[in-house]
Amino acid sequence: MTKNVIEVNNLEHSYGPIKAVDNISFTVKQGEIFSFLGPNGAGKSTVINILTTLKKIQKGEARVNGYDVAKDPKSVRRSIGIVFQMLCLDHEMTVYENLEYHGKIYSMPKKERKERIDELLRLTDLESKRNTLAKDLSGGMKRRLELARGLMTRPAVLFLDEPTVGFDIQTRMKMWEYLREIKKEGTTIFLTTHYMEEADQLSDRISIIDHGKIIVTGTSDELKNKLGKDLIYLETTNNKVAAEILRSLKSVKSVTEDTKSLRVIIGEDVTHALPLIMDKMRGEGIDITTVNIKKPSMDDVFVHYTGHGLREGNENGNHQGTEIGGMSE
Ligand SMILES: Nc1ncnc2c1ncn2[C@@H]1O[C@H](COP(=O)(O)OP(=O)(O)OP(=O)(O)O)[C@@H](O)[C@H]1O
Residue 44 Cβ inside 6 Å of ligand 1? The answer reads: yes
Amino acid symbol at 64:
V
Same domain, 219 and 251: no
238 and 215 share a domain? no
77 Cα to the center of ligand 1, angstroms? 22
Report pLDDT digits (tens) over 160-182.
998 888 788 888 888 898 889 88
Number of domains in the chain: 2
The reported pTM is 0.81
The pLDDT tens digits for 63-112 are 999 999 999 999 998 889 888 776 678 889 999 999 999 889 888 899 99
Give 320's pLDDT tier (boundaries 50, 70, 90).
Answer: very low
Mean pLDDT of the region 8-19:
97
Nearest-angstrom CA–CA distance, 69 and 67: 6
Residue 50 CA: distances (Å) to CA of 29, 62, 224, 319: 18, 8, 30, 33
Distance 319 CA to ligand 1 centre (A): 27
Mean pLDDT of the chain: 87
Probe target for ligand 1 pocket from 11, 22, 40, with the most ligand atoms within 8 Å of CB: 40
Residue positions counted in the chain: 329
Domain of 271, in residue numbers: 229-295
The per-residue pLDDT for 317 is 33
Interface predicted TM-score of the whole assembly (ipTM), two decimals:
0.95
Q: How many other β-carbons are positioned within 10 Å of the β-carbon of residue 95?
A: 29
Contact by Cβ (8 Å): 125, 47? no
In DSSP terms, which residues pair with 116 in a beta bridge?
none
Phi and psi of 231, rounded to 5°?
-125, 135
- Let me know whether 67 and 171 are in one domain: yes
Query: Helix or strand or coil: residue 229?
Result: coil
Mean pLDDT, to the nearest integer, of 210-228?
Answer: 92
Q: Residue 193 maps to which CATH number?
A: 3.40.50.300
287 φ, ψ (degrees, to nearest 5): -95, 135
Question: Pick from 9, 7, 39: which is nearest to 325 by CA?
Answer: 39
